[in-house]
Amino acid sequence: MARQNSTGSLADVSRRAGVSVATASRVLNGSTHPVSEHTRRRVLRAAEELGYSPSALARALVTKRSRIIGVVVGDIVDPYFAEITRGVEDVAARAGYMTIVCNADRRTEAELAQLQLLSDYRAEGVVFAGSGYVEDPLGEELADAVRRARVRGMEVVSVALRDFDCPRIHGDNRAAAHDMTEYLISLGHRRIAFIGGPPGLYASRDRFEGFRDAMLTAGIDPELVHEGDFGYDRGYSATERMVADGELPDAVIGANDATAIGALGALRKARVAVPERVSVAGMTDTRLARFSDMTTVGLPIYDFGASAARRIVGEGADQPSETVLPHRVVARSTTARRS
């Protein structure tokens, strides 16, 4: 394998143009330093002829600005993260930054490794897209790593609840779940089942608590609670079980859209009418929900990413260190008034 991969250097260009590298550099990088029109043209032409393109690596090395933003996600394939990533990408690209997406499989250990890698590349900023774990054994270590990274000048921002210190842009999971639950209750449902997220995640906990509190407030015992993992399958199997056990609820809430769609799948399979017999709702309003015309609670996740990126590229330095973006219940066809 030829691992050459260079376009010729500034030295080549300057030689060809008959000027110094300094001068070549000045014209080729939009420096404000004055350069005569004549010289400028010569340099530009030389660069053109050589097909020169500057090495972002070398440039980053000396300027100490890599123009790299990292996004650490739980799983790229999850539309929730894809949407956040898209938000980051869009503003990053506009500001001339590269976005590096790193998968962490929802494991803190992997997050640690990705942070290290990003740090090796001297990323200027990293956004943590996934939620953290309650009492994470690796929590302290990650917090330390983040602290060190920030001391070194790296901008860190999270778009979920995390146990390390950094600016945060997120939604209110508890309130969102609360509102969804209230909505269902307002529709006349009483036996409402909740299929949660991965155990230990703050997001899971908060969404569950929002559900529980709303139920309690309405004087209903929140007894139908199942564990999930933000995946379709667990939503499906949990619902399948309810069907099999003959304890069909009035409604089921999935801790995220994929889970709720799993529930929808199991109900369809069992030929239980939705929403006539049971209502189904998800959370976060990813495309999945829209595609299934499913009721959910919308969170501005694209904006989570976009705002985070803005902070990093320096357009949001004036923002408060904690920003909570609003959610709203999006009623669609999988929920209806209790018959």
Partner DNA sequence: TTGTAAGCGTTATCAG
Partner DNA sequence: CTGATAACGCTTACAA
Query: Residue 31: which of DNA, a copy of itself, none does it interact with, CB under 5 to 8 A by kind?
Result: DNA
Is beta strand 328-330 parallel, antiparallel or unpaired with respect to 296-298?
antiparallel
8 Å CB contact between 288 and 262: no
CB of 236 to a copy of itself, least distance (A): 9
What the block records as the tokens of 241 is: 């079980």
Footprint of a copy of itself (CB under 8 A):
1-7, 51, 53-58, 60-61, 64-66, 75-77, 79, 82-83, 85-86, 89-90, 93, 98-103, 116-117, 119-122, 124, 148, 152-155, 232, 258, 261-262, 265, 268-269, 287-288, 290-293, 314, 317
Query: Residue 85: which of a copy of itself, DNA, none does it interact with, CB under 5 to 8 A by kind?
Result: a copy of itself
8 Å CB contact between 180 and 215: no
Dihedral Cα 261, 265, 270, 276, nearest 10 deg: 40
> Cβ closer to DNA: 152 or 271?
152
> Cβ closer to DNA: 28 or 82?
28
Query: Residue 93: which of DNA, a copy of itself, none does it interact with, CB under 5 to 8 A by kind?
Result: a copy of itself
Element (H, E) at 80: helix 79-94
CB of 46 to a copy of itself, least distance (A): 17
> Cβ closer to a copy of itself: 175 or 252?
252
> Cβ closer to DNA: 20 or 186?
20
> Cβ closer to a copy of itself: 191 or 277?
277
Q: Going by C-beta distance under 8 Å and a sequence separation of 6 or more, which residues neighbour residue 100?
A: 68, 69, 70, 71, 118, 121, 123
CB of 145 to a copy of itself, least distance (A): 9
Write the CA distances from 25 to 13, 54, 57, integer angstroms: 9, 9, 15
Footprint of DNA (CB under 7 A):
6-7, 9-11, 18-23, 25-26, 28-29, 31, 33-36, 38-40, 52-55, 58-59, 61-64
The three-class DSSP label of residue 193 is strand
Q: Going by C-beta distance under 8 Å and a sequence separation of 6 or more, which residues neighbour residue 64?
A: 122
8 Å CB contact between 88 and 71: yes
